Structures are given as structure tokens and as C-alpha cells.
Amino acid sequence: MKSKQPINDVRNSSLSYLLNKDGTFIGSRGTGAQILPPSNDPNATAEAFAKQAFGGKTPTEIKPVTVKGVTGGWVALFSDGTAVTYRPSGAASFRTPNDMATVQINNNSVNILYKDIPKFKFPGK
């Protein structure tokens, strides 16, 4: 029988907003990522989504991230091993449209549920 501990851990944390009531992840499943609804400002939407994962905690370190020459991204590291990464539009692989911002949340319980490190993509309108 599969343990419910990871889902309970996520539901009782600042990451509970990542799950629907049925325990599935928010957004629609894309190729290797959850796709969230389009917005007029995908960078601001994605960055706010990423900061929500902080749950009021202060990261132990925030490192800048540059991908494909696009600056403005960052990875926030926490004492429990969680890492939250924000990449603005254009800072992704060739498979991701240039108007899409990305958030990755690397947390042990979330990774167990997702069976990988989940990516959340935020397209522009």
C-alpha cells in the first residue's frame, strides 16, 4: 500500500497551493511540465507563484540564474533542502515558447508525488 505521507506533507505546508483537492497537481499536464492559465504578464505571475512557495520563510541563499543570455531568474535555497527556481520568459529550452516563464519547485515530498522535480509553465496571452 502506498504511503499518504508525502501528500499529507504537501497539503500541510506552504506548498499546498500546488495541489488540487483530489491530490493532482494544478495546471494541465504538458510535455514535462504543468501548464498554468495564460496571463498578460507571465513573468510577474510566475515570480509571485514562486515566492508563494517560501511560505513566509527567508531563503538561506538566493542565487541569480541566467539562461540563454536572459537574466532576472533566480534560485532560492532553504535549510530543509527545498529549492525554488524562477526563470523569466525566454530563459528555457528550445521546446518552450519564448513567452513562457518557468518555476521549478524541488522539495522531497513534492518530488515523490510528481515522480520528478515539477516544472510549472506560465504562458503569455
Looking at the chain, the whole-number percentage of residues with pLDDT higher than 70 is 97
pLDDT at 1: 39
Span of 2-16, 78-92, 106-120 with lowest mean pLDDT = 2-16
Judged against a pLDDT cut of 90, whether residue 6 lies above it is answered with no
- Using CA atoms, how far residue 17 sits from 5, 53, 55, 61, 110, in Å, is 17, 8, 11, 23, 12
Alpha helices in the chain (DSSP H): 5-11, 42-52, 108-114
pLDDT, tens digit, 9 for 90 and up, residues 15-64: 999 999 998 999 998 878 899 999 999 999 999 999 999 999 999 999 99
pLDDT at 110: 93
Let me know: does 98 contact 58? Beta carbons within 8 Å.
no
Q: How confident is the model at residue 3 (pLDDT cuts 50, 70, 90)?
A: low
Q: Which three cell numbers stand for residue 109?
A: 515530498
Angle in degrees, CA 47, 52, 54, rounded to 5: 105
